[in-house]
Amino acid sequence: MSHHREIVTALGAPAAIGPYSHAVRAGGLLFCSGQIPLDPDTGELVGDDPAAQTERCLENLSVICAAAGTTLDDAVRITVYTTDMQAFERINEAYAQHFAGDPPARVVVGVAALPRGAAVEIDAVVALTG
């Protein structure tokens, strides 16, 4: 491990399904890997629509942030990937419930496919304090 970066593993988040870390802390920021809507206990995909999947992705990211000593409220940039741009409004509604105040910068990208057949994947860059 480099002294310029620190790996963060969150015990309550779904296990990684590939060769990546839950997050990496570097330069005062937390870089969270993309989360698909996996149940942290079973590792199974959950949520029968993009809104429910958005909710689960944000819950998983929140657990990862907590493991690093921060919260998703400190996110500075979020990227949402979806296979269903027709669900953009429903995704926004679920997303808005997490960021009622000052939301972070955001990008939404339409993609052809996501791991395990998910309709949504979300990653985040989060500011650290201290």
Domains of the chain (ranges; CATH) run: 6-127 (3.30.1330.40)
Average pLDDT of the chain? 95
Could you tell me the two tokens for 8? 């963060």
Name the one residue in this structure whose structure tokens are 């990211």.
Answer: 61
Indicate if the pLDDT at residue 2 is higher than 60.
Answer: no
Q: Report the predicted TM-score, pTM, of the whole model to 2 decimal places.
A: 0.95
Model confidence over 87-111: pLDDT tens digits?
999 999 999 999 988 999 999 999 9
Q: Which residues pair with 78 in a beta bridge?
A: 106, 124
Q: Which residues of 5-119 form beta strands (DSSP E)?
A: 6-8, 23-26, 29-35, 75-82, 105-110
Residue 21: what residue type? S
Element (H, E) at 125: strand 120-127
Confidence (pLDDT) at 3: 72
pLDDT class for 65, splitting at 50, 70, 90? very high
Confidence (pLDDT) at 101: 87
Percent of all residues in the chain with a pLDDT value above 70, rounded to a whole number: 98
Could you tell me the two tokens for 68? 């690093």
Confidence (pLDDT) at 129: 80
Mean pLDDT, residues 1-30: 92
